Amino acid sequence: MLIRARAPVRIDFAGGWSDVALFTEHSKGLVVNGAINRYAYATLRCESQTTQDDSVELQRILDKSIRIYSADFDTFIEADDVRQLEYDGNIDLVKAGVRRMSIQIGGFDLITQSNAPPGSGLGTSAAMGVALVSVLGALKEATYLPYEYAELASTIERHELGILGGKQDHYASALGGIHFMEFQGEEVKTSPLRLPPQIRYELEKNLVLCYTGQPRLSGNIHQNVTTAYKSADPSVRDALETLKATAEATKTALMRGRLTEFGELLTQNWRNQKKLHPSVTNEQIEQLFKIATAHGAIGGKACGAGGGGCLLFYCEPTREHSVRQKLEDAGARVIDVNFDFDGLQMWRVSNY
């Protein structure tokens, strides 16, 4: 039997960084983001089908080993027992999921894959974590609410693996849709932005998402920004406050259908992202922004922590095709996306 799950990645419009735990301890974080139709997939395979040789089936049932394969990195590991899984830089997120979910049995395979680029800034690791806890929970016959999947996946990254980051990615992946999110300490409030169809269609048409071809190392950038914040750098603290104000304004612009203003707010957010640390941008990113702006982009920002990965632009209604073409001419890869409103989905396959 196969247990499968898929969880969408997200594009963040405004307020990113303000959801990071270090910052939410002292001040409320505000974020606007949207889940998109690029997914992280997790498959758990338990061999329970009938075989001609009963001894083969019995051997499989008694088998306590675990096999994990990451299709994205073409990496395979095998352990004779769950307790042998050690963090060594190879597929640690999957190992951490097995540990945190208190999986005591073996005899199964885990396969992970994503159709978002590596290091894209789209929250792929969070989406993978959400998909993982879904299939592992199903193995335990446990049932969770969407926010519980998000919290479990966030806990795995932050507490099992010590990854610096916030919760917006996990909640976007578990819930789907376009949301305004508030973060205070460990508390999270999510409010869906139910845009009229014509506003959503126009938004989807005029957004251009491109991959720079350079995966970013978000851990390094997070450490840089964290160090600057802890040193009480006033420019960093001011930038974080402006990012939150931008998220509030972005929420209002979307709800009122003011999409040109929305595009301008992307740039406002980007300016303040760059104030957090010089590593948030680089020469290639700046050049792609110049190209997009010159050919019809109203505004834009880097996704996630920045430093590489994906860039998001909102374009003039009749010029997005020109922006797409010029970005591709410059070596970027344009990714076609629509919003995902389903969030985490899990299903079983009996015959395969």
Could you read off the pLDDT of 83-107 as tens digits, one per residue?
A: 788 888 888 999 999 888 888 777 8
Domain ranges, ordered by start, for the chain: 2-192+340-349, 197-335
Q: Which residues are the active-site residues? A: 169
Whether the predicted pLDDT of 351 surpasses 90: no
- Fold for 2-192+340-349, please state it: Ribosomal Protein S5; domain 2 (3.30.230)
pTM here is 0.92
Whether the predicted pLDDT of 337 surpasses 60: yes
Whether the predicted pLDDT of 48 surpasses 60: no
- Which pLDDT value is given to residue 86? 84
Across the chain, mean pLDDT equals 90
Q: Give pLDDT tens digits for 147-201.
A: 999 999 999 999 899 887 899 999 999 999 999 999 999 999 999 999 999 999 9
Which has more pLDDT, 213 or 220?
213
Which has more pLDDT, 197 or 225?
197
pLDDT band at 57 (very low <50, low <70, confident <90, very high): very low
- Which pLDDT value is given to residue 49? 43
**Range scoring the smallest mean pLDDT among 96-110, 282-296, 316-330:** 96-110
- Which pLDDT value is given to residue 258? 98
- Which pLDDT value is given to residue 52? 46
Domain over 197-335 is classified CATH 3.40.630.30: no
Residue 84's CB: how many other CB atoms inside 10 A?
A: 14
- Which pLDDT value is given to residue 212? 94
Cα 42 to Cα 325: distance, rounded to the nearest angstrom: 34
Cα 215 to Cα 316: distance, rounded to the nearest angstrom: 28
pLDDT band at 321 (very low <50, low <70, confident <90, very high): very high
Question: Strand 207-211 vs strand 29-45: parallel, antiparallel, or unpaired?
Answer: unpaired
Bridge partners, 282 (sequence order): none
On whether the CB atoms of residues 25 and 31 are closer than 8 A, the answer is no
Cα 100 to Cα 111: distance, rounded to the nearest angstrom: 18
- Which pLDDT value is given to residue 119? 86
Q: What is the mean pLDDT of residues 287-300?
A: 98
pLDDT band at 231 (very low <50, low <70, confident <90, very high): confident
**Strand 310-315's sheet: what is its strand order?**
297-302, 310-315, 207-211, 333-335
Cα separation of the two ends of the chain? 8
Beta strands in the chain (DSSP E): 2-14, 29-45, 66-70, 75-79, 108-114, 178-184, 187-192, 207-211, 297-302, 310-315, 333-335, 345-349
